Amino acid sequence: MKINLQLCADIGCLECRISDFNTHNNIIKYKMAFELTDSNFKEKVMDQGGVVVVDFWAEWCGPCRMIGPHIEEMAKEYDGKALIAKVNVDNNPEISYKYGVRSIPTVLYLKNGEVVDKQVGATSKKVLSDKLDAILS
Could you confirm whether 64 is annotated as catalytic? yes
Could you confirm whether 13 is annotated as catalytic? no
Under a CB-based contact definition with an 8 Å cutoff, are residues 111 and 51 in contact? Answer: yes
| Candidates 8, 13, 16, 61; catalytic one | 61
Query: Sheet holding 83-88: strands in order across?
Result: 34-36, 83-88, 51-57, 106-111, 114-120
Cβ neighbours of 41 (radius 10 Å): 20
Under a CB-based contact definition with an 8 Å cutoff, are residues 55 and 73 in contact? Answer: no
Gap between the Cα atoms of 108 and 114, Å rounded: 10
**C-alpha dist (Å) from residue 106 to 6, 88, 130:** 28, 11, 16
Residues involved in catalysis? 61, 64
